[in-house]
Amino acid sequence: MVEYLWDDLVAPAPSDPLAECVYGSRLIGSDPAMVLHGGGNTSAKAPFSDITGQEVETLWVKGSGWDLASIEKEGFAPLPIQRLRQLLDLDSLSDIEMMRELSAARLDPAAPQPSVESLLHALIPHRAVLHSHADAIVTLTNLEDGADRVREVLGEGVLIVPYVMPGFDLAREVRDMWPSGGDCSTGMVLMNHGLFTYGDTTRQAYRRHLDLINRAARWLESHAPHRPAEGGPLGRVDPVELARIRTEISRAAGRPMISVRHATAEVARFVGRADLSSVATRGPLTPDHVIRTKRIPMVGRDVAGYADQYRLYYQRNLHRARGETTMLDPAPRVVVDPEIGMLAVGATAADSQIASDIYHHTIPVLTRAEDHLGGYAALPEGDLFEVEYWELEQAKLRRRGASPELAGMAALVTGAASGIGRACAEELMERGAAVTGLDLSPGVVDAFDSPAWLGVPCDVTDPAAQTRAVERAVERFGGIDIVVVCAGIFGGVSPIAELDASEWRKVMAVNVDAAADLLSGVHPFLRLSPAGGRVVVVSTRNVPAPGPGAAAYSSSKAALTQLGRVAALEWASDGIRVNIVNPDAVFDTGIWNEELLATRAAHYGIGVEAYKRRNLLGTPVTSSQVAEVVAELASDRFAATTGAQIPIDGGNERVV
Ligand code: ZN
């Protein structure tokens, strides 16, 4: 059931229809049971006074690039209604022509590109219009006898429109069907698509929207009750197998892809169905999901077989393509498997999240329809293909711009809660990678708020804990392409003559032993990386130029450097690059505190400020500078470099 949330104390008065529309749009846009990732749009009709003072009857319709949940007035494009009606009188209008005409008709050239549904909004003779893809409504429309059920459940006042591709054709279809009286309708259901309601005010349209959705939800609850899954989540799957599947998917896609495992009780119940391969391959709830999820998920693990099927589907339906005619990549975006559960696949962690959200909404619709309501029936594949290869849908994806250089790559960074490790995690995410950060500090969990971030509290000196953290990284993002070995401690400062043996062993345990454990544990994943594995070891200037008093730190980092060099030798044949950075005097890190700074400065007989710039260039060195070099080494620009040691120390006369 959907809650009625209109608040008269907050909502703008109907005298400001656009402000009212913004309020109503946000209400429906923030409910994922109605509007999920762009499915839906809204409009208001109001006079627009132009620069000459002339009043133009205007449609304010949602523009592209705006989410309903956060839309502002600037998210709406003003269009002259009379012009839209003229366009509707044409015999035909291609998508490209329609979008050009809509764009040219804008009364404000700075307004966003108007929705492809603008013509439909214009012909509805009500001031306020709301459109959503509500789950409860599409559940009804996607039944075997969908139109009859919609009529039975929603009653006579609802216009039922058979599926037509959105745009000019749909607007024409609705215009031809619209009852001449115009007042008998409480709403309009588009089969296999969604719901329109309208009214004199957005509030009225919103009330009707909720009334119809709740009528459908009540009917579904009594005829096809949804019960929470009783079983538990799925168990462990060999992480190397998860990485192998993700690598095959990435090869099919032609680029590294993020693949996120979902194994909740709800997913477990779905993938445990005996008829999984039939139920899961009926098709999406609404056609605009195809650009996110593909037409059907992959059932099982045969990526090559899925890609072959996709090629055949492409060839079979090529004559239906509108616009783009080169084949899109044939890799699945959703995988269902009885042991794994669901894998949600995307070019980035955010894309994977969208595919996951959509499929989590799809599962209960499929099961209800299949188990209680006579069966689920999606659109024929030709109609879905038409939307998948629709210029205007592909444009939605393209508008987000070129992929960042590390998009689809999964990184693991140790010591990621602060200092250089945190800066590396941030820089890698900025360049498009998904990052798992390990740190002793529990604060690592919330270090970043992003679908591309997984923070795992972990004592790296506990091999079992580190192994579990690596497994979590693979479950979360599908594999590991980049490893940044950054966790490290400085230890106490003392001359060798007064060596504290336990302190020595502690420093060795964190700086060397844990790193050796980690590299050994991640090798199977780096070897499977679709992009070629990359490791960056954060060592120190102390290795080529040690200072007195820090024997444990310098020795441990020298061993770490040697570990990295051996890895470069051993792993080159696996396509894995291992490089080393030697920063020095990076004072914005957890290793340094005021006391240590003062001690070291005193050791050299200079002040703290001078100590911070004690290098050839006289420049301070920051965590973010180190992070940029690390990310650069992890990028393709260093594709021909392995085993290198790069100073990031402002220049040191004992090193150059
Ligand atoms: Zn729609």
Q: What is the pTM of this model?
A: 0.93
For 564-619, strand residue ranges (E) read 577-583
Question: Picking from 32-36, 62-66, 396-400, 442-446, which range would have the lowest pLDDT averaged per residue?
Answer: 396-400
Task: Inform me whether the pLDDT recorded for 397 exceeds 80.
Answer: no
pLDDT at residue 182, rounded to an integer? 52
How much of the chain exceeds pLDDT 70, in percent?
A: 97
| Res. 539 pLDDT band, cuts 50 70 90 | very high
Give the neighbor-by-neighbor strand order of the sheet with 76-80. Answer: 76-80, 55-62, 40-49, 128-132, 194-199, 187-190, 158-161
Task: Inform me whether the pLDDT recorded for 168 exceeds 90.
Answer: yes
Task: Inform me whether the pLDDT recorded for 181 exceeds 60.
Answer: no
How many whole angstroms separate alpha carbon 153 and alpha carbon 266? 27
> Which candidate, 621, 622, 595, 605, places its Cα nearest to that of 492?
595
Q: How far is the CA of 35 from the centre of ligand 1 (A)?
A: 9
pLDDT at residue 588, rounded to an integer? 84
- CA distances in angstroms from 648 to 216, 299, 559, 584, 656, listed in the order given: 64, 49, 19, 6, 12
pLDDT at residue 570, rounded to an integer? 98
Q: How far is the CA of 63 from the centre of ligand 1 (A)?
A: 13
The mean pLDDT of 439-464, rounded to a whole number, is: 97
The mean pLDDT of 230-258, rounded to a whole number, is: 97
Q: How far is the CA of 194 from the centre of ligand 1 (A)?
A: 6
pLDDT at residue 288, rounded to an integer? 87
Task: Inform me whether the pLDDT recorded for 147 exceeds 90.
Answer: yes
The mean pLDDT of 498-523, rounded to a whole number, is: 97
Task: Inform me whether the pLDDT recorded for 35 exceeds 70.
Answer: yes
Question: Picking from 178-187, 362-371, 459-468, which range would have the lowest pLDDT averaged per residue?
Answer: 178-187
Q: How far is the CA of 157 from the centre of ligand 1 (A)?
A: 20
Positive or negative CA dihedral for 169, 173, 178, 180?
Answer: positive
Buried b (16+ CB within 10 A) or exposed e, 226-260: eeeeeeeebeebebeebbbbbbbbbbbbeebbbbb
Name the catalytic one among 23, 553, 604, 611. Answer: 553
Tokens of 590: 């957890």
Q: How far is the CA of 169 from the centre of ligand 1 (A)?
A: 14
Q: How far is the CA of 134 from the centre of ligand 1 (A)?
A: 10
How many whole angstroms separate alpha carbon 242 and alpha carbon 228? 27
Residue-wise pLDDT tens digits, 557-603: 999 999 999 999 999 999 999 999 999 988 887 667 888 889 888 98
Task: Inform me whether the pLDDT recorded for 180 exceeds 90.
Answer: no
Q: How far is the CA of 39 from the centre of ligand 1 (A)?
A: 5
335, 298 in Cβ contact below 8 A? Answer: yes
The mean pLDDT of 607-612, rounded to a whole number, is: 89
In the residue annotation, 23 being an active-site residue is answered as no
| Res. 399 pLDDT band, cuts 50 70 90 | low
pLDDT at residue 134, rounded to an integer? 94
How does the average pLDDT of the chain come out, rounded? 94
pLDDT at residue 403, rounded to an integer? 82
Task: Inform me whether the pLDDT recorded for 185 exceeds 80.
Answer: no
Question: Picking from 195-199, 401-405, 427-431, which range would have the lowest pLDDT averaged per residue?
Answer: 401-405
Residue-wise pLDDT tens digits, 341-382: 999 999 999 999 999 999 999 999 999 999 999 999 989 999
The mean pLDDT of 172-200, rounded to a whole number, is: 85
- Taking ligand 1, which is a single-atom ion, which protein residues have CB atoms under 5 Å away? 194
Residue length of the chain: 656
How many whole angstroms separate alpha carbon 361 and alpha carbon 107? 38
pLDDT at residue 563, rounded to an integer? 98
The mean pLDDT of 263-280, rounded to a whole number, is: 97
75, 110 in Cβ contact below 8 A? Answer: no
pLDDT at residue 341, rounded to an integer? 98
Residue-wise pLDDT tens digits, 276-304: 999 999 999 999 899 999 999 999 999 99
How many whole angstroms separate alpha carbon 162 and alpha carbon 149? 13
Q: How far is the CA of 459 from the centre of ligand 1 (A)?
A: 49
